Amino acid sequence: MRYGVFILAAGLIGAPVAGAYADVTVISETTGADGVASARTMYLTADRMKVDTPKFALIFEIGAGEMVNILKDKKQYMEVDVKALGARINDATAMMKQKLESVPEAQRKMIEAMMAQHSGLPGVQKAVATTYEKTGESKTIGAWPCEMFHLKRDGKLVADLCIAKADAVGLTADDLAVLHNLAATMVKSLPEGITRNGAVTDFDEQSKQIGFAGVPVETTLHLNGAALSTTIVKSVDHAPIAPDTFVIPAGYAKRDMPGLTIGQ
């Protein structure tokens, strides 16, 4: 599961309203710390979303709560039932808790503290406080004026965002209703310990903190004080998306989803 995709996608979510929906294609470019740039395209229709990169693609069937992970370098694809994944995570968590009951108290507390820092499992990881700190700087990315914000989780910088107003970028609430539905599906299907700790961005909270409904048109991710990558939105277009965009390429072999296990 590439949760970074959910974070990026959910950062575009607006509250759905009734109206005509037009397909949307968002093209962006990501440059890593090594200076190598790669393209990313996000296709949105009323009931499907696809995130396409040079190495992999993710296809979401929103209503069904299903996802296909396409591994281009291996010519394989993996089907993921999000609800089934959530159930497996819950089962693994229950088994983990059972195993911890037999561990001496001091050792158990140490393990739980370590897992609270690094694990996304429900009941283990503490809730994360997310803040958007306005820097006072502004930029123009492409044709879009945007304002700079530090995105922090528990006080630690995780990203610098240049956020433009959604309507200025050409994205309406109707356009983004598909992503709102995706986020709702993820929240309902996955354990709370995952969704509340950053796997799905709370767009309403973002809008409340920054003061407007906006989307990041430039995102620089940070880890331990170092910049990991910068993603810049290049274009946002409204045009019908061909149905075969969401078809698994011919010749790709199906791969089973890896099992979720707890050490013996």
- 39 found inside a domain: yes
- 174 found inside a domain: yes
Tell me if the pTM is above 0.85. Answer: no
Question: Bigger pLDDT: 147 or 110?
Answer: 147
Instruction: Give the structural domain span for 113.
Output: 3-254
For the ranges 74-78, 136-140, 193-197, 204-208, the lowest mean pLDDT is seen at: 193-197
Sign of CA dihedral 187, 3, 126, 216: negative
Residue 47: its pLDDT value, please? 82
- 103 found inside a domain: yes
Question: Bigger pLDDT: 172 or 3?
Answer: 172
Of 130, 139, 134, give the one whose Cα is nearest residue 158: 130
- 42 found inside a domain: yes
Q: Which of 3-7, 147-151, 153-157, 172-176 has the highest mean pLDDT?
A: 147-151
The tokens describing 12, both together, are 């575009």
- 38 found inside a domain: yes
- 202 found inside a domain: yes
Cβ(148)–Cβ(137) below 8 Å: yes
Residues 6 or more apart in contact with residue 122 via CB below 8 angstroms: 89, 90, 93, 191, 192, 193, 194
- 260 found inside a domain: no
- 262 found inside a domain: no
Here the CATH number for the domain that contains residue 119 is 2.50.20.10
Chain mean pLDDT for the chain:
77
- Kindly write down the DSSP assignment for every residue of 174-206, as one continuous string: HHHHHHHHHHHHHHHHS-HHHIIIIIS--HHHH
Structural domains of the chain, count: 1
List pLDDT tens digits, range 188-230: 655 544 444 444 556 678 889 999 988 899 999 998 888 999 9
List pLDDT tens digits, range 9-61: 433 433 333 345 678 999 999 999 899 999 999 998 888 889 999 999 999 88
